[in-house]
A = this chain, B = another copy of it.
Amino acid sequence: MINVGIIGLGYWGPNLLRNFADAAGARVTVVCDRDAARLAAAAARYPGVAATRDAREVFDDPGVDAVAIATPVSTHFELAMRALAAGKHVLVEKPMAASSAEAQRLIEEAARRRRVLMVDHTFVYTGAVRKIASLVSSGELGDIYYYDSVRVNLGLFQHDVNVIWDLAVHDLSVMDYVLPSRPRAVSATGVSHVAGGHENIAYLTLFFDNNLIAHIHVNWLAPVKIRRTLIGGSQRMIVYDDLEPSEKIKIYDKGITVNSQPDSVYQLLVGYRAGDMWAPQLPATEALKTEVAHFVECVERGTAPLTDGASGLRVVRLVEAASESMAARGRLIELDAPAGARS
């Protein structure tokens, strides 16, 4: 049984609270937020849990084994670092930190302290993304040709970060999990439609080896909500629509066949192959429930989580590089191969 403190009870924190409260193997002992009303609401709902407006009380409490942080991104580094320094295991909301330098220091601190450092890349724990990862790694899709995601809606303009930090992080964390290799370079474009504001629309292209290409379209100013990803493989292709109540994933047995020995370009023969479509039944478990159980297990066993600090760092590096490219209207930013890259 591990004792957990929750810091931050804004939009996402109450979901962490509820899932840790329900998790076997965990117990929430304290919650922390600067807002007294939020604290009161949490205390009323979970009478046995202590409430404080001072995070220090969480870190100083020797009875707290782990801390879950759901605060604005600019505070992630300081809070996570203090938690690790106090010997706590840490689950930190996405994006992991406000810079890759911060993310790197958190990884080092966690390693030194031998503590679990996990990033809340929630989509990685959905049934849909798990299924996609399984289809990719089993080879059923064949070679992966492209990954194309659209994530747009009319919605919350952030004050302190652009739309890449807010929305594209989801896609980057999914790609980090499901794709067989790491991006080599990024080119991004975007614009702000609010004077003095950050970019509210952005387009990212990620280049990989072997002609794999990925693209992300994020937009806070769209008339309709779209959450759709196309994944093209040499054998099969996927449409993943996260707004579908069921059938979120459709697998198309479609593709092309290429005459590999043409005498000339005019003899280049591309054949088209169309087959059945198949929508696998997906488990209905809430992603955060799966994620919290995984965190608890990692803490208990001392194992590395699926979405560890290294994955959090990779995602932050991509966000930084994409933002830099966007500021330079699409200038290509080469990415160093991070330690532990798959290929």
A194 CA / B265 CA spacing, docked (Å) = 11
Q: Are B213 and A191 in contact (CB under 8 A)?
A: yes
> Contacts of A56 on B, CB cut-off 8 Å?
none
Q: Are B224 and A239 in contact (CB under 8 A)?
A: yes
Q: Are A207 and B154 in contact (CB under 8 A)?
A: no
Q: Are A265 and B146 in contact (CB under 8 A)?
A: no
Would you give the 0/1 interface string for A121-159, flagging 1 where the beta carbon is closer than 8 Å to chain B? 000000000000000000000000110101010110101
Q: Are B230 and A152 in contact (CB under 8 A)?
A: yes
Q: Are B159 and A247 in contact (CB under 8 A)?
A: no
> Contacts of A47 on B, CB cut-off 8 Å?
44, 47
A116 CA / B221 CA spacing, docked (Å) = 42
Q: Are A278 and B276 in contact (CB under 8 A)?
A: yes
**Total copies of this chain within the assembly:** 4
Partner of A211 from B193, B217, B237, B266 at Cβ < 8 Å: B193
A203 CA / B146 CA spacing, docked (Å) = 12
Q: Are B213 and A190 in contact (CB under 8 A)?
A: yes
Would you give the 0/1 interface string for A152-181, flagging 1 where the beta carbon is closer than 8 Å to chain B? 101101011000000000000000000000
A221 CA / B152 CA spacing, docked (Å) = 23
Q: Are A252 and B224 in contact (CB under 8 A)?
A: yes
A101 at the interface (CB under 8 A from B): no
Q: Are A277 and B191 in contact (CB under 8 A)?
A: no
**Given A187-B187, A330-B332, A154:B274 Cβ within 8 A:** yes
A155 CA / B271 CA spacing, docked (Å) = 9
The closest CB in chain B to the CB of A190 belongs to: B213
A63 at the interface (CB under 8 A from B): no
Q: Are A154 and B272 in contact (CB under 8 A)?
A: yes
The closest CB in chain B to the CB of A145 belongs to: B193
Q: Other than the known A150-B150, A205-B330, A277-B281, what 5 A-B pairs have Cβ atoms closer than 8 Å?
A: A45-B45, A190-B213, A194-B268, A219-B230, A328-B332
Residues of A within 8 A of B (CB): 44-45, 47, 145-146, 148, 150, 152, 154-155, 157, 159-160, 185, 187, 189-197, 201, 203, 205, 207, 211, 213, 215, 217, 219, 221-225, 230, 232, 234, 237-239, 243, 245-247, 250, 252-256, 258, 260, 262, 265-266, 268, 270, 272, 274-281, 325, 328-332
